[in-house]
Amino acid sequence: MTTSASTSAPLIEKHTIGYVPPEDRHGKVRDLFTLWFGGNIAPLPIVTGALGVQLFHLNLVWGIVAILVGHLVGGVLMALHSAQGPQMGIPQMIQSRAQFGSLGALLVVLIAGVMYIGFFASNIVLAGKSLHGVVDSVPVPVGIVIGALGSGIIGIIGYRFIHVLNRIGTWVLGIGIVIGFGYILTHIQTDDFLTRGSFNLSGWLATVSLAALWQIAFAPYVSDYSRYLPANVPVAATFWTTYLGSALGSSLSFVFGAVAVLATPVGMDTMDAVKLATGAIGPLMLVLFLLSVISHNALNLYGAVLSLITLVQTFAYRWIPTAKSRAVISIIVLLACCFAAVGASADFIGHFVDMVLVLLVVLVPWTAINLIDFYAIHKGQYDIDSIFQVDGGIYGRYNPQALLAYAIGIAVQIPFMNTPLYVGPVSAHINGADLSWLVGLLVTSPLYFWLATRDSAYRRRLTSGKLAGSL
């Protein structure tokens, strides 16, 4: 589905966090499939997927089953957030003001911004290592800077260019990973490819959680890439193109990592295993993954910048920045991340993954509240003007019901957590499986619905007559 704006949309995005009016809407809903399919065929999901057999000692069959279950479940939440984009026409994080209030949303926005910056820094480290692996003469720090500059240019140009690159990347990376699978499966270098590892419940649950959390980590910014689509795009179309693209692309990468480490001797680093397992086509695979990291990392920079703008705009509500402002902030973030990444320890990525696991504990209740509010309570109808007012308009500065449900949603996860900072008693009892995300969703969703639907202020807002947009 397209509009006449599709052919006249500027290459460099002019909007930032402001509402995208109908005359500026453009694009095709199928672009969401290519964005999330191509963007998920990259080294970081490959490394994460290998953990099911490396760390949790599953065999190939049970590892694949766990990966599929996790992505299929987590992808539902991620795609439901994506479907909000065309209806609202604003970024995901600023929309959170409608649930938490203009000041109440600040904590979630800050957490999301930190996570994006961490993802960006980690991926430029991967880009630097990948470039050094392809061209030995390029030092890792130089590769980090090159990777950051490539992602920065894409992020500064913005929305449309990101979609264009991923349309190309879907075909190139999709064909590449299929060829990689074919090569590995016909050149297996181990005798225990199918027998290494076994089923164990704690490892299976942990792998399911890793896959599900991979999808949930996209929730705070997935609708940023659907908000330019025409408002009359069916919710179902937005959901399914996002869901299929993300679940399929992520599953392929996760399984690719598991297959590569099982096809090579025990104890190898995952990306070294990929290089060895793919043999003659190994250098080509590394080049493709390098390009993927640079392209996909632009999404992290883009999300970080929108989060920072949202934080500032909370207090300077009359300021809706232009493309120039977005470019300046992008450069500042890029330089800071380069400095941190070049000077970081060798285990920078490992430390970052640990941080993300902690941050997801506080993002899961936000996901539950946002989805319940959008689909079950407001049914897609919001007052856009109030969202941009300093006092929150009809949504206020704070929403006590959302904040209470949010706090309880975090608290109930604590016994089920398994993070570097804390291992809960339930998680310890089941050999380290982290089920906190599932408990957080199951408790927060009905609790928030119960609190919100009994709040008279909410009922007044629902009948205020000022709300715009509907499902």
Q: Is residue 87 part of a domain?
A: yes
Confidence band (pLDDT; 50, 70, 90) for 221?
A: confident
Confidence band (pLDDT; 50, 70, 90) for 352?
A: low
Contact 5, 23 (CB under 8 A): yes
CA distance 280 to 86: 45
Q: What is the CATH number of the domain that holds 106?
A: 1.10.4160.10
pLDDT of 356 reads 66
Residue predicted with more confidence, 75 or 114: 75
Tokens matching residue 356? 């993300």
Tokens matching residue 450? 């119960």
pLDDT of 58 reads 94
Tokens matching residue 95? 């929309």
Structural domain total, the chain = 1
- Percent over 90 (pLDDT), the chain: 29
User: What does the pLDDT average to over 301-318?
Assistant: 82
pLDDT of 457 reads 59
Q: Is residue 427 part of a domain?
A: no
Q: Is residue 184 part of a domain?
A: yes
pLDDT at 322 over 80: no
pLDDT of 1 reads 45
Residue predicted with more confidence, 327 or 322: 327
Q: What is the pTM of this model?
A: 0.86
What are 224-257's pLDDT values in tens digits?
888 888 988 999 999 999 999 999 999 999 999 9
pLDDT of 2 reads 44
Q: Is residue 453 part of a domain?
A: no
CA distance 287 to 140: 15
**What's the count of helices (H) and strands (E) in the chain, helices before strands?**
20, 0
Q: Is residue 419 part of a domain?
A: no
- Mean pLDDT score of the chain, rounded to an integer? 84
Contact 61, 209 (CB under 8 A): no
What are 388-433's pLDDT values in tens digits?
888 888 888 989 999 999 999 999 999 998 877 788 898 888 777 7
Q: Residue 180: which of 292, 76, 14, 32 has the closest Cα?
A: 292
Q: Is residue 377 part of a domain?
A: no
- Report the SS3 class of residue 465: coil
Show the domain range for 304. 4-347
- Report the SS3 class of residue 9: coil
- Amino acid, res. 226: S
User: What does the pLDDT average to over 171-188?
Assistant: 90
Q: Is residue 231 part of a domain?
A: yes
pLDDT of 349 reads 57
Contacts 24+ apart (CB under 8 A), 467-470: 467/378, 467/381, 467/382, 467/383, 468/381, 468/382, 468/383, 468/384, 469/87, 469/88, 469/89, 469/231, 469/380, 469/381, 469/382, 469/384, 470/87, 470/379, 470/380, 470/381
CA distance 146 to 337: 13
Q: Is residue 337 part of a domain?
A: yes
Confidence band (pLDDT; 50, 70, 90) for 371?
A: very high
